[in-house]
Amino acid sequence: MNKKGVSPVVATVLLIAIVVVIGFIVFFWLRGFVGESIIKFDTDIKQICGQVSFTADYGTNTIYITNNGNIPIYRMKVLDYKEGGHNTIMLGMDDGWTSGSGLWIGKSVEISYSADQSDKLILVPVLLGETKKGEAKLYTCNEKQGVEVFI
């Protein structure tokens, strides 16, 4: 019989190429699940969040924030709880209190904010760190590190 097929060498090269391509696809797919680590003061920023210490209060359409710790707070995420859910607002971008590196140690800020019909506010610190490549990156701490303010 006069059958033609792929030689064993070509078949082996094709199989190896397919395995390598599938390996790269799986590698880049899994890489998307693992976030790039952010460093602050030569420590993982997740650990630094536990060291942030600040107080917050609300009165007369103003949020009062004081940084009591030794970690600068770059921005503040506000969870505004109202009946039926909550709104999320980022403070510090246009409020004038984060000139450059954030709210420094011992500094205070007053931010105008209307919390009409709100039950409570939770203020969660947002820190500025660096990736291993040296790029500045924001990291929002866990709500457990936030401060609850009752209206």
Q: Domain of residue 76: give its range.
A: 39-150
Residue 56 lies in a domain: yes
Residue 47 lies in a domain: yes
Q: How many domains does the chain have?
A: 1
Residue 11 lies in a domain: no
43-89, pLDDT tens digit by residue?
888 888 888 999 999 888 888 999 998 888 888 899 988 888 888 88
Q: 82: domain CATH number?
A: 2.60.40
Nearest Cα residue to 74 out of 39, 142, 126, 136: 126
Residue 15 lies in a domain: no
> For every residue of 92-144, which 3-state class applies, written as one string?
CCCCCCCCCCCECCCCEEEEECCCCCEEEEEEEEEEEEECCCCCEEEEECCHH
Mean residue pLDDT across the chain: 84
Nearest Cα residue to 119 out of 84, 147, 87, 82: 82
Taking the complete model, does pTM exceed 0.75, yes or no? no
Residue 5 lies in a domain: no
Residue 22 lies in a domain: no
Residue 71 lies in a domain: yes
pLDDT at 3 over 80: no
114-140, pLDDT tens digit by residue?
887 888 899 999 998 888 888 888 889
